[in-house]
Amino acid sequence: MNNRRKLKGLAAGFLFALAAFNFSLLPAFAAPIETLPSARQERVVTVSDTEELINAFDSGMTLVLEPGVYNITEYLMSLKNPRKWNYESEPEAGLYVRDEFDGPEMVAKGFEDIMLISADRNDPASIVVEPRYADVLSFVDCKDITIDSVSLGHTPDKGSCAGDVLSLEHCEGITVSSCELYGCGTYAFTIDSCDGIKAMNCDIHDCTYGCAVISSTKGVVFSHCDFHDCREFTMFEIYGSTADFIDCDFKRLSGEFLSDERSDITFTACSFDSATESELSERGLLAGKEAEDLIRFSLTNTNVELKDRDILLATGNFYTIELDEEAKEAWPALSGEIEGLNSMEKKESLDEISGMEEDARYMNETAYDMTFDHESIFIPMRADSRAFSYVLIYYDFLGGAHGYSYPSSKNLDTATGKDILLSEVIKDAEKLSDITVTELLKQNEDLYDYFGGEDSLHTEELAADIKERLKNDGEKLCWALTYDGIRIFFEDYAMGSYAAGSRDVLIRFEDHPEIFTDRFVTDSSINYDISRQMTVKTDRRQTLKTKESAVHTIPLAYHYEEFDPKLKPSEDYGYYSFVESYEADDTYPKLKKSLEDRNSSYKADAEALLEVLEDSAESAYRDRGRDKYTTFRAGYHMSLKRADENIVSFAAHEDNDAFVKPVRITIGNNIDTGTGEDIGLLDVTEDKEGLVKAFEEALKKIFYDKELRAEITGVFETQLEKDSTVSSRELSWCTGYEGIEIYLNPDVNYNFYGDTDGPVKVFISYKDNPDLFAERITKVPGSYIYDLEINTCPETEYIDAGDELKNISLTLNQTGEGYYNGMTVDFGGRRYDIDDSVEGASAEAYIVRDYDGLFFLYLCQKTASGYGYIAVYSLGDEPECVGCVDGELRFMLSEPGDIGLKEGYTPTSVKSFKLLSRDAVFKSMTVIGDFRTGWDGLPVNVNYYLDYVDADYEITAKKDISAELIDENGITTEETVIPKGEALKPVQISEWGTMILSDRDDRQLRINMEASEEGLYSIQGEDPKEWFEAPAQTGNNNRQIK
Q: What whole-number distance in Å separates Cα of residue 809 and Cα of residue 297?
A: 47
Asked whether 82 and 109 are in contact (CB, 8 A), the reply is: no
Q: CA 648, CA 595: separation in Å to the nearest integer?
A: 10
Q: Which residues are CB-contacts of 771 (< 8 A; sequence separation ≥ 6)?
A: 687, 690
Closest CA to 882 of 895, 873, 872, 892: 892
Sheet holding 732-735, edge to edge: 732-735, 739-744, 760-765
Tell how strand 647-656 and strand 632-643 pair up. antiparallel
Residues in CB range of 239: below 8 A, 6 or more apart: 214, 215, 216, 260, 261, 262, 263
154 within 8 A of 132, measured Cβ to Cβ: yes
Three-state DSSP class for residue 252: coil
Residues 939, 555: contact at Cβ < 8 Å? yes
Closest CA to 391 of 865, 23, 25, 7: 7
**Nearest by Cα to 325 from 14, 36, 609:** 36
Q: How many CB atoms lie within 10 A of CB 582?
A: 20
- CB-side exposure of 298: number of CA atoms within 13 Å? 20
Element housing 346 (H / E): helix 332-354
* CB-based contact 733:741 (threshold 8 Å): yes
From the list 146, 136, 110, 134, the residue with the least C-alpha distance to 36 is 146
**pLDDT score for 34:** 41
- Label residues 540-564 b or e (16+ Cβ within 10 Å = b): eebebbbbbbbbbbbbbbbeeeebe
Per-residue pLDDT at 1042: 21
Give the strand pairing for 212-215 and 189-192: parallel
Cα atoms in the Cβ-side hemisphere of radius 13 Å centred on 1037: 10
In the three-class reduction of DSSP (H, G, I as helix; E, B as strand; rest coil), residue 466 is classed as helix
pLDDT, residue 570, reads 55
Residue 378 is predicted with a pLDDT of: 94
Q: How far apart, in Å, are the Cα atoms of 407 and each of 344, 395, 443, 504?
A: 16, 9, 19, 10
Cβ–Cβ under 8 Å, residues 503 and 445: no
**Most distant CA pair in the chain: distance in Å?**
100
What 3-state class would DSSP assign to 353? helix
Orientation angle between helical segments 706-720 and 688-699, nearest 10 degrees: 150
Report pLDDT for 17.
29
Beta carbons of 738 and 766 less than 8 angstroms apart: yes
The answer to whether the CB of 496 falls within 8 A of the CB of 517 is: no
What pLDDT does 746 receive? Answer: 74
Residue 878: what are its φ and ψ, rounded to 5°?
Answer: 50, 60
Nearest to 119 by CA among 175, 51, 176, 63: 63
| pTM as predicted | 0.48
What are the per-10-residue average pLDDT scores of the chain (1042 residues)? 33 29 29 41 82 91 93 88 75 85 87 92 91 89 93 75 87 93 87 93 90 92 92 90 90 89 86 85 72 85 81 90 91 92 89 82 67 92 95 86 86 94 91 88 78 69 86 90 94 76 89 93 82 81 65 67 70 78 85 94 89 76 60 82 86 73 78 94 91 92 80 89 88 88 73 57 88 83 38 47 59 63 70 64 62 61 59 64 54 54 45 32 33 25 28 68 85 89 73 73 84 71 74 25 24
pLDDT value for 902: 45
DSSP 8-state symbol, 27: P
Strand locations in 252-308, DSSP E? 258-261, 264-268, 297-308
Q: How far apart are alpha carbons 453 and 466 in whole angstroms? A: 17
For residue range 969-1015, what is the model confidence (pLDDT) as tens digits? 778 888 999 998 887 876 666 656 677 788 877 788 888 888 776 65
Q: Please classify residue 405 by burial: count the beta carbons closer than 10 Å to its beta carbon, then call 0-12 exposed, 13-18 middle and 19+ buried.
A: buried
Query: Judging by DSSP bridges, how do beta strands 264-268 and 485-489 pair with one another?
Result: unpaired
Rounded Cα distance between 718 and 738, Å, is 26
Query: Which among 1017, 1018, 996 is positioned nearest to 1007, based on CA atoms?
Result: 996
